[in-house]
Structures are given as C-alpha cells and as structure tokens.
Amino acid sequence: MTSMTPEVNASAPSQTLKFPDREIRVGISQCLLGEKVRFDGGHKHAHYCTDVLGKYFTFVPTCPEVGAGMGTPREPIRLVNMNDEVRVRGTKSDDDYTEALTHFSEQAVKRLTGLSGYILLGKSPSCGMERVKVYRENGYRSDITQGGVFAETLMRTYPELPVEESGRLNDPQLRESFLTRVYAYHTWQAMIEEGITPKALLDFHTQYKPLLMAHNQQAYRDLGKWLAGVDKTSVVQKAKEYLPKFMAILKQPATRQNHTNTLMHLQGYLKNNLSSAERQHLRQTIDNYRTGMIPLIAPLVLMRHLFEVHGCEYAGNYRYLFPYPESLAIDGV
C-alpha cells in the first residue's frame, strides 16, 4: 500500500491526501548508518535505511555500548542468566557491564522525545528488539531469550512507538507494517501538537477506519463504539487512551479475509460512479485476490485509479489506499 502524491478529483477532501509538513525523526542503531562503532571496530551498514529511508526520515543515531563508555573496539558482550537475573557480561574478561549499560539506556531514552519510529540492530545484547540469546554461566545457551537492554528500555518508555529491526525490513509485509505505523504515528503527533479537539480526533479516526478494519475488524468496531460521544470535556483523556488502542490494532497482521472485506467496503463508495464494465472489473479483481490468484497490490492499484478518476467525498479511504508516500514504496522495490 502506498500514499498519494499526485492531485486527485477536487471532490475528495484534500487534507486527507497530505502528511504533516514536519520533519519525521526516526531513531536508529548507529552502526546501521555505516559508522564504525561495533565491538570489532566495524559497522552493520543497512543500505535500505541510508539509501531509501534516509530520503524521508531524519535519523537520530545511538550506540548504547559506546554511550555506556565501552569504547571501540571493545570486548564483545552477551546476556547471561545468573541466579535468575539477566546480566550483561563480557565474553572474555567476564566483566559486568549491566549497570553502565542500563544507566545509559535509561538516560538516553529520556532525550529521545518526538521520534516517530525506531530501527534497531537485531540479535544485539543492547539493541535487539526480541529473541536475543541468553546464556548460562557455564557458557552454554539457555532456553530463554529477551530484548536487548537499550531496546527494552526504549519500548518500555515509549510503548506506542513503532519499532522494528533492520533485518526484518527486508520482509515486504513487515516493512509495510512499520512504514504504515511510522506515518500514522507521525500524523498523530502533528495533530496533538496543533491541539486536540473532538473534531480532530474523529477526523483522524475516520481517515484510518478502513486500515483498522483490515487489521482487526472486531477491534475496529469496538474502538469506534468506544470513541462515540467524545466531547470537549473528555477529548484529552480519550486521546490518551485512544493512541495505545489504535497502535495495537495496526501492529496486528492484516489477513487476506480482512483485506477482502475492506476492499468490498470501499467498493461501495464508488458503485454509483462506475460504469458497468468498471464495476465488473473491480469485483473480479477483488475476488481474484480473495482466492489467492493475485497479490493485494492489484486491487489496490485498481481502486486507487478509480478513486482518482471518479473522486469520492468519503474521507476514510486514503489512509488505507495510501498510508505512506507513493515514492517511498517505489524506492523500496
């Protein structure tokens, strides 16, 4: 799914076609930018991040291990389960770096306000998002895994922040999910900065309703019911409670069945504008996607075209069809 940059029919609400005109700041593990801060004096340059995402995001780099005073090059570290407590230990000297790394992480994340996402280095004892190896004191692997020290501090401090590992961005679906969440979170931040009102909150929800539907239909319905009746006296508290619910839905994988239902739902807003041939073509394309004959991009491209040609007064379609800039999707191919 991509976002629209070209102009569309004037009957479509233009404000739904644009993303906030503000810098998108995304945190990143410093070694992913090609900087030589790894334990061996090397890096883990992620070219997709620098060559593609760097055109759209302003990266805010951090190397927790260097920040904690370990230096470069340095002794490798790993997580070790000692008496049911996971510690950060050197692999050669057996020095303990737990307090230093924990203290730096807690102080660093406090300064990382205003980010719209974070890209971490996988498997790292400091930056791994999940499934980081934990060892026993005898040097053998234990049967548990967890996130790195810095990563867990980050996600605990900012639970709604879109977070992903660089390697997982090679998976089209995971990349799609991350980019969609970054731009949704970024849009939310801009709305909050402008001052939350009942209308602004309801407009935001309307724009994302079909996208929420594609991820979890029951949660989408429950959220709509919960939001009903918001007013000036309740909007601030509602907004605080809305964001965790909203981001949790977007984090859930969208299914083929849910996508099919969402496409059919949006089809209804076009039915009076389409010719008989266009209606038949759209129905067949959606059905071919439902049965697995074609990928999701096929009905999405067709529906984008039909909305652009015919226009539509319904505001809640663009964040499903265009959740992030079209040029970003093209660059990522």
Distance from C-alpha of 11 to C-alpha of 47, rounded to nearest angstrom: 40
pLDDT winner (highest mean) among 219-228, 267-276, 320-329: 219-228
Range of the domain at 96: 25-170
- Return the higher-pLDDT residue of 213 and 12: 213
**pLDDT per position as a tens digit, 224-237:** 999 999 999 999 99
With beta carbons less than 8 A apart as the criterion, state whether 213 and 220 touch. Answer: yes
pTM here is: 0.90
Q: Which amino acid is present at 48?
A: Y
Percent of the chain topping pLDDT 70: 92
In sequence order, which ranges of the chain are alpha helices (DSSP H)? Answer: 47, 64-67, 98-110, 149-157, 172-194, 198-215, 217-227, 235-251, 256-267, 276-290, 297-310, 318-321, 326-331
Distance from C-alpha of 218 to C-alpha of 276, rounded to nearest angstrom: 33
| pLDDT at site 249 | 98
| pLDDT at site 126 | 98
Distance from C-alpha of 92 to C-alpha of 71, rounded to nearest angstrom: 16
From 108, 23, 95, select the one nearest 66 (Cα to Cα): 108
Which helix or strand (DSSP H or E) is residue 143 part of? strand 141-146
Kindly tell me the burial class for residue 280, based on how many C-beta atoms sit within 10 Å of its own C-beta (0-12, 13-18, 19 or more): exposed
pLDDT interval class at 333 (50, 70, 90) = low
**pLDDT per position as a tens digit, 10-49:** 333 333 457 888 899 999 999 999 999 999 999 999 999 9
**pLDDT per position as a tens digit, 140-198:** 999 999 999 999 999 999 999 999 999 999 998 899 999 999 999 999 999 999 999 99
β-partners of residue 3 are 325
Neighbours of 205 (CB within 10 A): 18
Distance from C-alpha of 267 to C-alpha of 99, rounded to nearest angstrom: 56
- The answer to whether residue 78 sits within a structural domain is yes
**pLDDT per position as a tens digit, 78-111:** 999 999 999 999 999 989 999 999 999 999 999 9
Neighbours of 305 (CB within 10 A): 12
Q: Write out the two tokens for 167.
A: 């390697």
- The answer to whether residue 321 sits within a structural domain is no
Distance from C-alpha of 245 to C-alpha of 220, rounded to nearest angstrom: 9
| pLDDT at site 179 | 96
| pLDDT at site 317 | 62
- The answer to whether residue 84 sits within a structural domain is yes
- The answer to whether residue 126 sits within a structural domain is yes
pLDDT at 133 over 90: yes
As a whole number, the mean pLDDT across the chain is 91
**pLDDT per position as a tens digit, 260-318:** 999 999 998 888 899 999 999 999 999 999 999 998 889 988 998 898 888 765 555 67
- Count of the separate structural domains present in the chain: 1
| pLDDT at site 312 | 66
Torsion of CA 198, 322, 261, 305, to 10 degrees: 120
